């Protein structure tokens, strides 16, 4: 969400900038009113409509958010922020009208493609190929240059892990937030990109009692080992152990042969400063402990954040089941990543050109490290 430096009418500048300021202060309903005034002053301001959509999205008002992202794109089809905002909201909400914008139509068609396959048949390479080819052909029919910079695919529930806040604490004070001591993750390391795509489909169809947050990624962090990973976030070791029993069966049925499953503390960024935090022990006395003097430093971080009224609280939506346009665009990035790191397993399912967006730039400083990791992906 950005302020503007100039517009046709001075009032538009004032209203948009006021809206951005209100949003940053956590006054989301006030920001909506300001952006509405900006849009009324200049109905052709795609920025006002895009920001209005972002504010509605913050409050979980997905229908209103989608409407304004569409308006922004009708005003300026090259508004890349509005493009990605619309693509993202379609993972949370499906409108009844599929012809409001071509991105909505593409998302709908991709979802229908998946329905042609039974769950147990999804993992055959010919079917993976079919899904990717049909989806990308349909995308190119409308927009040959459509891409996303996303490298992670989430399946979210309505719980906020508040990771951005926790990293602020760690990055400023080099301490591990208290919340993170109760957060455990199941980490699955994989040896090739085809298995990562299969794991994503496993996660998409995996029923868990608490609908745990899960994600599949290609590793982009500097000097972090392992190229292809999946995570399921848990609230305790016992929950993680129960999920692993179910998960192992699902992974084997998906014909994923080379994988390694571990229970770890999140997040990996903490391990360099606190190696003992990585180790999981069934004996609580041997577990690395939160230090009492860290609490004051956490309070300092929290005091900087503006408090929100109940009506302005952020709503965290659950990812809808199925395959979305965002999923295909992200998998395209995985394929680019695989090719760049000489993992040619992807050619078994998709051998066409993919638009990389900024992936090349993201990878340029760690290509050699990532190539080496193909031989050592189970650390």
Residue 46 tokens read as 């795609």
**pLDDT averaged over the chain?**
92
Kindly state whether residue 8 falls inside one of the protein's structural domains. Answer: yes
Residue 7 and residue 79 in one domain: yes
How far, rounded to the nearest angstrom, does the alpha carbon of residue 172 sit from its chain's CA centroid?
24
Last residue of one domain, picked from the residues 312, 339, 354? 312
Which percentage of the chain shows pLDDT scores above 90?
A: 79
Confidence of residue 5 (pLDDT cuts 50, 70, 90): very low
Distance CA 135, CA 90 (A): 16
Q: What is the pLDDT of residue 7?
A: 44
Q: Residue 228's domain is classified under what CATH number? A: 3.30.70
Q: What is the pLDDT of residue 278?
A: 84
**Closest CA relative to residue 201, chosen from 317, 121, 88:** 121
Last residue of one domain, picked from the residues 259, 289, 312? 312
Q: What is the pLDDT of residue 279?
A: 79
Say whether pLDDT at 376 is over 90. no
Q: What is the pLDDT of residue 359?
A: 85
Whether 224 contacts 92, CB under 8 Å? no
**Closest CA relative to residue 314, chosen from 161, 203, 210:** 161
pLDDT tens for 154-188 read 999 999 999 999 999 999 999 999 999 989 999 99
Cβ-proximal residues to 164 (8 Å cutoff; 6+ apart), any chain: none
Kindly state whether residue 38 falls inside one of the protein's structural domains. Answer: yes
Q: What is the pLDDT of residue 10?
A: 77
Cβ-proximal residues to 61 (8 Å cutoff; 6+ apart), any chain: none
Q: What is the pLDDT of residue 357?
A: 75
Say whether pLDDT at 320 is over 70. yes
Say whether pLDDT at 336 is over 50. yes
Query: Residue 219 phi/psi, 5° resolution?
Result: -70, 125
Kindly state whether residue 179 falls inside one of the protein's structural domains. Answer: yes
The strands making up 214-218's β-sheet, listed across from edge to edge, are: 152-155, 214-218, 228-234, 184-190, 259-265
pTM: 0.93
Domain count, the chain: 2
Kindly state whether residue 5 falls inside one of the protein's structural domains. Answer: yes
Residue 159 and residue 33 in one domain: no
Distance CA 75, CA 71 (A): 6
Say whether pLDDT at 211 is over 80. yes
Confidence of residue 6 (pLDDT cuts 50, 70, 90): very low
Q: What is the pLDDT of residue 27?
A: 97
Residue 172 and residue 297 in one domain: yes
> Which carries the bigger pLDDT value, residue 110 or residue 11?
110
Confidence of residue 284 (pLDDT cuts 50, 70, 90): low
pLDDT tens for 221-275 read 988 899 999 999 998 889 999 999 999 999 999 999 899 999 998 788 899 999 9
Last residue of one domain, picked from the residues 46, 67, 89? 89
Using alpha carbons only, what angle is made at residue 342 by residues 269 and 252, rounded to the nearest 5 degrees? 70
Say whether pLDDT at 4 is over 60. no
Q: Residue 32's domain is classified under what CATH number? A: 1.25.40.10
Kindly state whether residue 6 falls inside one of the protein's structural domains. Answer: yes
Kindly state whether residue 263 falls inside one of the protein's structural domains. Answer: yes
Residue 76 and residue 216 in one domain: no
pLDDT tens for 92-112 read 999 999 999 999 999 999 999
Distance CA 160, CA 349 (A): 35
Tell me which residue range forms the domain holding 20: 1-89
pLDDT tens for 247-259 read 999 999 999 989 9
DSSP element (H, E) containing 155: strand 152-155
The whole-number average pLDDT for the span 32-50 is 96
**Closest CA relative to residue 34, chosen from 209, 25, 292:** 25
Residue 20 tokens read as 């951005």
Maximum mean pLDDT: which of 12-21, 284-293, 358-367: 12-21
Kindly state whether residue 337 falls inside one of the protein's structural domains. Answer: no
Q: What is the pLDDT of residue 108?
A: 97
Residue 374 tokens read as 């193909």
Say whether pLDDT at 193 is over 80. yes
Confidence of residue 378 (pLDDT cuts 50, 70, 90): low
The whole-number average pLDDT for the span 336-345 is 95
The whole-number average pLDDT for the span 28-37 is 98
Q: What 3-state class would DSSP assign to 217?
A: strand
> Which carries the bigger pLDDT value, residue 7 or residue 353?
353
Distance CA 264, CA 262 (A): 6
């Amino acid at each position: 969400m950005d302020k503007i430096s100039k517009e046709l009418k001075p009032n538009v500048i004032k209203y948009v900038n006021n809206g951005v300021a209100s949003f940053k202060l956590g006054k989301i309903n006030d920001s909506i009113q300001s952006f509405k005034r900006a849009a009324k002053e200049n109905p052709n301001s795609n920025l006002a409509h895009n920001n209005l959509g972002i504010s509605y999205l913050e409050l979980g008002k997905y229908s209103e958010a989608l409407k304004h992202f569409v308006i922004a794109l009708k005003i300026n089809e090259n508004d890349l922020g509005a493009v990605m905002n619309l693509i993202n909201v379609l993972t949370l909400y499906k409108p009844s009208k599929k012809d409001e914008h071509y991105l909505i139509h593409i998302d709908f068609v991709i979802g229908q493609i998946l329905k042609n396959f039974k769950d147990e048949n999804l993992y055959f390479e010919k079917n993976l190929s079919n899904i990717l080819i049909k989806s990308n052909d349909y995308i190119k029919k409308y927009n040959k240059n459509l891409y996303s910079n996303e490298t992670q695919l989430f399946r979210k529930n309505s719980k906020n892990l508040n990771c951005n806040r926790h990293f602020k604490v760690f990055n400023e004070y080099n301490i591990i937030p208290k919340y993170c001591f109760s957060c455990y993750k199941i980490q699955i390391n994989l040896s090739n990109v085809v298995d990562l795509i299969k794991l994503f489909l496993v996660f998409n169809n995996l029923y868990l009692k608490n609908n745990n947050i899960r994600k599949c990624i290609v590793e982009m962090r500097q000097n972090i080992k392992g190229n292809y990973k999946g995570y399921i976030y848990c609230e305790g070791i016992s929950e993680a152990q129960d999920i692993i029993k179910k998960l192992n069966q699902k992974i084997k049925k998906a014909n994923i042969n080379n994988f390694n499953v571990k229970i770890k503390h999140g997040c990996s960024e903490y391990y360099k400063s606190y190696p003992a935090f990585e180790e999981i022990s069934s004996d609580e006395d041997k577990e690395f402990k939160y230090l009492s003097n860290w609490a004051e430093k956490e309070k300092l971080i929290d005091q900087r954040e503006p408090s929100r009224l109940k009506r302005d609280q952020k709503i965290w939506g659950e990812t809808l089941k199925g395959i979305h346009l965002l999923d295909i665009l992200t998998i395209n990035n995985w394929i680019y990543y695989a090719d760049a790191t000489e993992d040619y397993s992807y050619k078994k399912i998709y051998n066409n050109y993919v638009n990389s967006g900024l992936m090349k730039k993201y990878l340029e400083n760690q290509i050699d490290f990532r190539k080496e990791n193909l031989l050592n992906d189970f650390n």
